[in-house]
Amino acid sequence: MSRETEVLKTLLEVSRLISSNYPIPKVIKRICGKLRKLLRTDDCSIMILNEKSRELAFSESSGLTRWEMKNIRFALGEGVAGWVAKHKKPVLIGDVRSDARFKVVDQQKRSMVSMISCPLMVKRRVIGVVSLTTRDEGHIFSQDELELVVLMSAHISLALENNRLYEISVLDGLTNIFNRRYLEQRLMEEVAYSRRYTKPLSVVLLDIDFFKRLNDTYGHQAGDYVLKRVSQTLSDALREYDVVARYGGEEFAIVLPTTPKQKGATIAERLRLAVCEDDFRFKEQDISCSISLGVASFPEDGRDPDGLIAAADAALYKAKDSGRNQVALA
């Protein structure tokens, strides 16, 4: 295969990845893999710019450990990636060891030789940086390879921006979990799946107990903190394929695919305990927090989304009416 054909083939594969339904982390990981293969290089990383902190954090890297990806940050102007993000210009470095901008992460990184780093841009706004490095003294990146990475960066930027716009449409702005619209769409799909394949399905509705009193006592900032903390606690305690959403105010809804009622009740109790045992502390003040939950299941409690939500809501009312901080079944 000629070099030109290889480049065109890679561009086509990347375009297909961007238009696929794969989760964005998988898309980014595969794009990195294709870039490494195309440029015959050792490491490829993609960093995303946090608009609030103005720091770059790793989204994907073939040359770093999970701990490094999670904990290493670069401020604008810091290191090669930070320089690229700040100046909005790609760079090609023949020998990173003699470049003052290069920041050594650990001893292993001293073996890096050549580097290409390119800004990821959307409408002249930097959203991240893609970088590639070699460890082979005989492989110094060329200008043609830099131009190829610049071309690829446009595709990566498109994938990241599409994902950002999608997340805006389906995520709750405060808690960063799914919103009600997405929850209702997923519930419709899961009910259809359960009906077609005769699979169980459970729905949980839950409220934060005495949330109005909490707001009145500690203030609305504390209330927002509790909403975000509860959202994170619920997400951490659920399975990867469960769906948790902010349903409205202090109310949350959870879809538990292929889950019968008793299993749903067990999961709901686990969530209740997780929230009760969590430490809620806002501005040096300890806040007591508990939740009440109602569980309903397909098909016995409802054969459509509206019926399941109504049954779970009735069970939630029963839990609250019985003293709160408990799970009730439809």
Q: Which residues are catalytic?
A: 250
Q: Are 240 and 173 in contact (CB under 8 A)?
A: no
Sign of CA pseudo-dihedral 209, 212, 213, 217: positive
Q: How far apart are the C-alpha atoms of 301 and 315, rounded to whole Å?
A: 11
Rg of the chain over Cα atoms, rounded to whole angstroms, equals 24
Of 268, 273, 317, the residue nearest 295 (C-alpha) = 268
Whole-angstrom CA distances from 148 to 21, 90, 125, 231 are 25, 11, 21, 42
CA distances from residue 126 to 45, 82, 106, 168 in whole angstroms, order as listed? 16, 11, 27, 18
Is 247 within 8 Å of 312 (Cβ atoms)? no
